[in-house]
Structure 1
Amino acid sequence: MVSVFRLPASLQTDNDQQGWLDLSDLDGVRIDPFGMGVLNDGTPFLTQRGLAALCGVKNAHIGTISSQWSEPLPKPRINKIRDILARDGHELPTAHVQVRANNRVIYAYREEISLAVIEYYAFDAGQFCQPEARDNFRVLAKKGFRDAIYESVGYTPEQGLTEKWRAFHDRISLVYHSAPDGFFSIFKESAEVTVTLGQSGIYSSENIVPDISIGKCWGQFWRDHDLEKIYGHRLEYKHYYPDYFPQSVSNPQTPWCYPESSLGEFKRWLREDYIRGGKFRNYLGGQLQKKQIDAPAAQQALAAYKLPPLLTKAANPADHI
């Protein structure tokens, strides 16, 4: 079963003479051709183009909502959309978030702002109200924005999340209890960081291995402070990566495990030095620079620890899809 939305005549094809478009499932695609998509964390969104289509207006009209959103004296249209958001308990600092897909910058309008803009063009835009917006608002009100977008892009949350957590789960099954008695592994004791990253849309993979960063930084701290004299010797142990990781070619790895007597010191260091002291922020910044993660996910991970956001270069406010 698929969702059906009404598009303006300018976006109809020869097969859509009645103004209705059948959005079929697109297996494995996170952004469909009509500007509907799902962020890594499962958040549904519309692109600038997709939101304009559902509102029955030109793309530029949605673009100006973004560009005028933070003006000191907002236009009446902006004030009305903000009023709709406030009525539903939302206050947004920006109209869109920027995401990167296939090396292209996309302006993503999340559920709250998308519904507010569609409602505005359906009922509150006066002579500029659009029948497409009314029809699509009713479709979304009946089915629900999230379910409609998920169905349009062929996204099943449970399946998507299970696959994204697969690498982490497979590593757990291989090495979670592999450190010898009396010692702890960095992978196991830093799992909370890996989980927080995943909840922010940054999932463990052959490229995202946060325990390597944590292990290197902790190892340096261990040596610099000569903690061996306090807690005793650390040991190497066998650590295996899943066979689909490129790192598995050199299995078994031999990282360090540390005396359990130093676990309290490690937890304090992880919280105060690695996370709050800037190393976690530097790790995310490095992954962002290498384009292994996107900026919204990095900012969400920092926000989870109540850390200030990364400064990222602003993109041109033109729509890229």
Structure 2
Amino acid sequence: MANDGKKEITHKGRQIKVLAPNSAPKEITPDQGILDLGIQADADIGGIGMGVLSDGTPYLNQRGLAVLCGVENAHIGYISAQWNDKSPKPRIKAIKSILKDAGASSSVSHYSLPYKGISHFCYPAEVSLAILEYYAFDAGANCQPEARANFRKLAGSKLRDMIYSYVGYDPTGRYQDRFAKWHERIALNYQSAPKGYFHVFNEAHTIIYELIQSGADIGEKFVIDISIGQHWSRHWDEFSYDAVYGKRRKYPHKYPDSHPQSKSNPQESWCYPVSALGVFREWLQNEYIEGGKFTTYLKGKVKRGELPPSIANLQIGAVS
């Protein structure tokens, strides 16, 4: 994942660095039927596969769990194969005991579910955490330093919260229609620039979409096209593009009633000759996104408490 040097999950250290906020715990349903389950969302962050099942259960895939535990993928497979043995191995007893102490239980170690044409081995968060704790402290000579470091960062509900954050899933349902405010702005402005001109809002759609997918609450306090527009305007003046591509001009940009900015509608905003569109797109990728301006913008949001660090890092990697 490309970002400003900090990684939430490292490729080499295999350790979680930053955590999402805590949320209320959720137990595994022991008799959950596999036929009723599907995968609602998934993500792969630095080789750690994770997702959310259709009933809201967060999970790690087999390979991702193995990486966090610091063991070979086959070792997690052995645990699954032995989960319901009539004479369980000591490690199965130990893992199930850890689960019980946490107030959870599961009749299966994982769910094997088809998704995007591939069979996924999905280990519910509580099962994953019990296995991680086993390899951290209870596996004797097989205890792994990676497991110990990761468990200390993911104990309690933190693993669940991290998965929800990375896949952009809201277990409360409060932001179920997270695209609504963005769609309101599109409906008001998609044809507002005059013929032969483009405006930054429409050109910023990819970044805005990726932010929403990453879990950012895009609304009246999160208007990234303003940041892009300000930087592009200064770039335009600095290189005297009026003389190269023709003069830019103002157009009326409107905000939805849900935004406080709507009180001063219409807002005058710059639009630019279409002949400069290619140059703008190169500048957006090379200067704004990869040149550090986008990272600075997101860091400001994190500092003001308007964006979780995990979403900021995920977004930087996705867009870059």
TM-score bucket of the superposed structures, by smaller chain = 0.5 to 0.7
Distance of aligned partners of 1:264 and 1:85 in 2 relative to their CA distance in 1, 3 Å threshold: same
| Count of aligned residue pairs for this structure pair | 213
* Partner deviation per Cα, 1:37-83 (whole Å, 9 max, x = no partner): x99x99559xxxxx9xxxxxxxxxxxxxxxxxxxxxxxxxx999433
Alignment-derived partner of residue 193 in structure 2: 179
Report the CA distance between 1:219 and its aligned residue: 0.3
Amino acid at match of 1:265: V
1:82 matched to 2:95: no
Is contact 2:110-2:123 (8 Å) kept?
Answer: yes
The 1:204/1:129 distance shift into structure 2, 3 A limit, reads: closer
In structure 2, do the counterparts of structure 1 residues 178 and 88 end up closer, same or farther at CA, with 3 Å as the change threshold?
A: farther
**Offset of 1:272 from its aligned partner?**
0.7
Residue among 265, 268, 272 paired with 2:282: 268
Tell me the equivalent position of 2:152.
Answer: none
**1:190 and 2:204 are equivalent in the alignment:** yes
Q: 1:292 to 1:124 in 2, by over 3 A?
A: farther
Residue in 2 that maps onto 1:303: 317
Q: Aligned in 2, Cα 1:146/1:191: closer, same or farther, shift over 3 Å?
A: farther
TM-score (norm 1): 0.55
What SS does the corresponding residue of 1:164 show, helix, strand or coil? Answer: coil
2:264 maps to a residue whose letter is S
Question: Any idea what the Cα deviations from partners look like across 1:10-40, whole Å, max 9, x if unmatched?
Answer: xxxxxxxxxxxxxxxxxxxx9325589x99x
For the structure 1 residues 299 and 87, does the alpha-carbon distance in structure 2 shift closer, same or farther, using more than 3 Å as the test? farther
Provide the rounded CA distance (Å) in 2 between the counterparts of 1:84 and 1:160. Answer: 39
Structure 2 match to 1:103: none
The offset of 1:305, in angstroms, is 3.5
Q: What residue in structure 1 maps to residue 224 of structure 2?
A: 210
User: How far has the Cα of 1:204 moved from its partner?
Assistant: 1.7
Among all aligned residue pairs of Structure 1 and Structure 2, give the percentage whose two residues are the same amino acid: 32
Cα distance in 1, alignment partners of residues 73 and 179 from structure 2: 33
Equivalent position of 2:262 in the other structure:
248
Q: 1:156 to 1:198 in 2, by over 3 A?
A: closer
TM-score (norm 2): 0.55
CA distance in 1, matches of 2:186, 2:124: 32
The 1:86/1:222 distance shift into structure 2, 3 A limit, reads farther
- Equivalent residue letter for 2:278: G
1:125: Cα distance to partner? 3.3
CA distance in 1, matches of 2:229, 2:67: 50
Structure 1's 183 and 86: CA in aligned 2 closer, same or farther, altered over 3 A? farther
- Cα 1:184–1:31 change in 2 (3 A) is same
Unaligned 5+ segments in structure 2 are 1-21, 29-39, 44-49, 59-65, 113-121, 127-159
Report if aligned partners of 2:110, 2:124 keep a CA contact under 8 Å in 1.
Answer: no
1:31 and 2:19 correspond: no
Aligned partners of 2:283, 2:271: CA distance in 1, in Å?
Answer: 16
For the aligned residue pairs, the C-alpha RMSD in angstroms reads 4.3
- Which amino acid in structure 1 is aligned with residue 260 of structure 2? P
Contact 1:273 1:279 in 2 (8 A): yes
Q: Match of 2:105?
A: 136
Deviations 1:263-299 (A, max 9, x none): 1110111011111111111111111111110111111
The one-letter amino acid paired with 1:133 is L
Structure 2 CA distance for aligned equivalents of residues 79 and 193 of structure 1:
30
Specify every segment of 5 or more residues in structure 1 that has no aligned partner in the other structure, as ranges. Answer: 1-29, 46-50, 52-77, 90-114, 307-321
* Compared CA separation, residues 80 and 32, structure 1 to 2 (3 A): closer
Q: Distance in 2 between matches of 1:80 and 1:250?
A: 51
C-alpha contact (below 8 Å) 2:204/2:225 kept by paired residues: yes
> CA 1:86/1:218 → structure 2, altered by over 3 Å: closer, same or farther?
farther
Q: Structure 1 residues 236 and 295 mapped into 2: Cα distance closer, same or farther (>3 Å)?
A: same
In structure 2, relative to structure 1, the CA distance for the partners of 1:142 and 1:179 (3 Å cut) is same
State which drifts further: 263-272 or 140-149. Answer: 140-149
The structure-2 alpha-carbon separation of the partners of 1:223 and 1:156, relative to structure 1 and needing over 3 Å to count, comes to: closer
Q: CA separation of 1:133/1:181 partners in 2, compared to 1, >3 Å: closer, same or farther?
A: same
Contact 1:123 1:129 survives alignment (8 Å): no
User: Contact 2:170–2:176 at 8 Å: present in 1 too?
Assistant: no
Q: Give the AA of the match of 2:71.
A: D
**How many Å separate the matches in 1 of 2:180 and 2:124?**
24
